[in-house]
Structure 1
Amino acid sequence: MNLGLGWKLYGDGSAPPPGAVVRPGERLSWGRTVGLGAQHVIAMFGATFVFPVVMGLDPNLAIMMSGVCTIIFLLIVKGKVPSYLGTSAAFVGAAVIISPDGSNPAALTGAIMVAGVVLAISGLAIHLLGAHVITKAFPPPVTGAVVMLIGFNLAPVVANVYWPVDQWIGLLTMAFVVLATVLLRGFLGRVTILLGLVFGFVMSWVFDLLFGARPVAQDDGSTLDLLRVDLSAVSDAAWIGLPSFHAPEFQTSAILVALPAVIALIAENAGHVKAVQEMTKDDLDPYMGRAILADGVATTLSSAVGGSPTTTYAENIGVMAATRVYSTAAYYVAAIVAILFGLCPKFGALIAATPSGVLGGITVVLYGMIGLLGAKIWVENRVDFGNPMTLVPIAAGLIVGIGDVSLAFTENFVVSGIALGTIITLIGYHVLNALAPASMKSVPLPMSALDPDSDDRDDTPRP
């Protein structure tokens, strides 16, 4: 059985000349391959550990499982689709609702696990029926709306949770990320979130030196003076050890909140396969379903042990575009390095010590970018909002999702926010499409711009 594990040496193993490419089944010398693998680790690193922190999950486990899941992905696609699987941002909105401040990680990972199973089943169906079913079931107007409401639904989290804790650190961190994204070029331009995290850490330490501890409200209504940067847990953590595992817990209400992210993940994976196909000039449509199935299997496995959801990363596709080296051997190296990082508890403790004010500044940018990626899908697919059949269901779904409107069926069964907005958008669009006269029906464009990740200048995974 061919799993894509045999690589032919490219030329003499040195870097390809201008205009030449190293194909997925080829490799450079092992020394150069290790160097390329390190580049892939750096490209995925910032976002892969930032989002677990935001979702209240163990960043060490997320890093380790990203390596494991990347290997699983490459095996399922038989090495035909070079990609790295990092932490997905698509479930951040669900995490805020299901497990605020990391209070219920078991229910969150249980909901993500079910979504992973649904994603895997969707990938299998796409593999059997053909890649064209994606745009038929989830046309760009719907996909863009779901991505948008996933991001903008999080605005109250920034306003009410992170920002008030330390507004000045949040403002400085946000300003740094915005300026760095515009002013920095090349590799630094792709890791602005990571740089913002480091900048915020440093500024928090400086504020502690200049202004001392700040008052922090406690659950009982009292206040306690605490330093912004507390690294005591880092010194206590071991250098080598396993991350924190936990079993998932399944709650119907939580599952309904997480399921809309499946639509975003299908669109994202499909877009990435198309991007790789454009770069390698290989016909990857037969592997579209395999790629989505593989991401579903990876997300299911990761969440089953308490890890983060996964998705293919545009950042690593950007590395391939820059180097013109599409060898999957480099991805196996990156995966092994990530697994080794995940086995260092001290590293995880350092990430967990990120001050809340820093997260406030970063999430202002991240959540807004997630939402605007939905608009990017509309623009690239030339969605016609002059057509009421498109405008009305999407408008209703967005307001319901962003405004966190609820619909109570019983006292214990309530559908709200992202889940309800997605249902209204998806069902409303297809029902109107079926009932509308032929002159009003929209004609789906070829799936050329479903990828919400084509801009590789920052290090944020897309939903």
Structure 2
Amino acid sequence: MNKQEMVMDVQETPKLQKWIMLSLQHLFAMFGSTILVPFLTGLSPAVALVSSGIGTLAYLIITKGKIPAYLGSSFAFIAPIIGATAASGPAGAMVGTFLAGLVYGVVALLIGKLGLDWLMRILPPIVVGPVIIVIGLGLASTAIDMSMYVPGLDENVYSGTHFSVALFTLAVTIVASIFFRGFFGLIPILIGIVSGYIFALFQGIVDTAEISQQWTAITSAGSIWGVINALFQTPDFVIPFADYSPLNVLNGEIVLLMVPVALVTIAEHIGDQMVLSKVVGRNFLKKPGLHRSILGDGVATIIASFLGGPPNTTYGENIGVLSITRVFSVFVVGGAAVLAILFGFTGMITATISSIPSAVMGGVSILLFGIIASNGLRMLIDNQVDLSDKRNLVIASVILVIGVGGAFIQLSENLQIAGMALSAIIGVTLNLVLPGKESGYGNGAMFDDSAVDTNGHQNDVA
């Protein structure tokens, strides 16, 4: 990247009016995906916004203000959070989120001391790629159920109205993804949700009671302070030791649900950092260091667990904003984090989010969950993993069938290893015991420090 192409460097501070507009771009880019995760898992979207904002600020501090990355809700943890909540309630999901953050911290320490070779041996592309595919396809039934059936009923009741809303939302999201350019091409999820919401209003399936209550409270306020009190409200935080005792919730099932996913998302994080290094023209893997970046992710996830939000991860949507605007200022990203926190405390915004019909989210999810699965396939292709090699073919096949098929091992009455966790464990085991490990690495670009040259610019990797 030529220096002339850069509009604003990492440490530059924009003027206030421009600062707000640039930060709003980042906020809108992450907004749709960040609120979708808590919507699907039963957590609070307002808490997710607050935790993503605070987590991003913590990340910027830990990385010494040298990596312009925004952190939002991680899609990889949707199924584990649902499982942990079913097993131990929302508290179980938060304990699991805390464990995921600890895994990030441990891996960061090991990378800082030992480098990346040990992680490469455990999680080569031939394991990570198929597991990511399992994560996406494992959520497929959730997207279809939300799209086709009337929500809130004990039995599935097909609704043509709900399905039409889902398909309309999906169509708009696809059109925005393919045909929109510039900034609007980076927010197809938000465009799809807004368009689907408007269509759902005309179909009569939007419950606006909470919005009406918020509006009544604002309009009936007798003073400016009354308006402020009506406009802002504290999100439904889930605080450890205040709302629950973590030690009473912790069990083996939560560990097995959350920890394997954390290892997989760490591998994705490394890929994100390589892409970000290429976009900005700096070697972030070396300075401030990959260990700091992963630690930042871990701390942000632990912060989320203390508030009641889902695990956080760096967002590709915001990397896209950086690529288009060429504005790399961490102050702009930090501004988006502050705005996210303010949005989380704004009652009208959270009421509007809560009123979004499940069919709208289902329509968006059809595309998003498919993209997750496709990203796993892309990882295999980008790393040139040879699937004509019998060893690779066996590992990928076993991971896919066990993960998508829903196989599980019952360890006790209340403890089982199931789905993605089981497929990941078996995939790692097969990779370690079968001969010819080199073939599973492909070209090794995902983990290879040589993918970024000594001048801090990432080389092109196939």
Bin of the TM-score, shorter chain as denominator length:
0.7 to 0.9
Cα deviation for residue 277 of structure 1 reads 1.8
Cα gap change, 1:133 to 1:321, in 2 (>3 Å) = farther
Q: Which residue in 1 is equivalent to 2:459?
A: none
From the two aligned structures, give the one with the greater helix fraction.
2
Aligned pairs (5 A) from 1:229-244: 229-237=206-214, 238-244=230-236
Cα gap change, 1:232 to 1:410, in 2 (>3 Å) = same
Matched, 1:196 2:192: yes
Using the TM superposition, name which of 187-196 and 279-288 deviates more. Answer: 279-288
How many Å separate the matches in 2 of 1:310 and 1:75?
16
Aligned-pair identity (%): 33
Cα deviation for residue 242 of structure 1 reads 1.2
Q: Which residue in 1 is equivalent to 2:225?
A: none
Is the Cα–Cα contact under 8 Å of residues 111 and 251 in structure 1 kept in the other structure?
no
Aligned residue type for 1:430: L
Aligned pairs (5 A) from 1:240-259: 240-247=232-239, 249-259=249-259
Q: Which residue in 2 is equivalent to 1:171?
A: 167
Structure 1 counterpart of 2:388, from 386, 392, 403: 386
Structure 2 counterpart SS, 1:91? helix
Aligned pairs (5 A) from 1:44-443: 44-99=30-85, 104-165=89-150, 166-208=162-204, 228-237=205-214, 238-247=230-239, 249-286=249-286, 287-432=289-434, 436=435, 441-443=439-441
Cα deviation for residue 308 of structure 1 reads 1.8
Cα gap change, 1:442 to 1:257, in 2 (>3 Å) = closer
Cα deviation for residue 18 of structure 1 reads 5.1
Is the Cα–Cα contact under 8 Å of residues 385 and 442 in structure 2 kept in the other structure?
no
Is the Cα–Cα contact under 8 Å of residues 97 and 304 in structure 2 kept in the other structure?
no
Q: Report the aligned-residue RMSD.
A: 2.3
Cα deviation for residue 110 of structure 1 reads 1.6
Cα gap change, 1:176 to 1:256, in 2 (>3 Å) = same
How many Å separate the matches in 2 of 1:341 and 1:443?
43
Structure 1 counterpart SS, 2:412? coil
Is the Cα–Cα contact under 8 Å of residues 132 and 375 in structure 2 kept in the other structure?
yes
Unaligned runs of 5+ in 2: 151-161, 215-229, 241-248, 449-462
Is the Cα–Cα contact under 8 Å of residues 197 and 362 in structure 1 kept in the other structure?
yes
Is the Cα–Cα contact under 8 Å of residues 146 and 260 in structure 1 kept in the other structure?
no
How many Å separate the matches in 1 of 2:8 and 2:104?
31
Q: Deviations over 1:162-194 (max 9, x none)?
A: 422222222222222223322222222221111
After superposing on structure 2, the runs of 4+ consecutive aligned residues of structure 1 that deviate more than 6 Å are: none
Aligned residue type for 2:110: A
Is the Cα–Cα contact under 8 Å of residues 54 and 92 in structure 1 kept in the other structure?
yes
Cα deviation for residue 444 of structure 1 reads 4.7
Cα deviation for residue 369 of structure 1 reads 1.2
Cα deviation for residue 416 of structure 1 reads 0.9
Aligned residue type for 1:446: G
How many Å separate the matches in 1 of 2:340 and 2:439?
47
Q: TM-score, with normalisation over the residues of structure 1?
A: 0.83
Cα deviation for residue 132 of structure 1 reads 4.4
Cα deviation for residue 103 of structure 1 reads 9.3
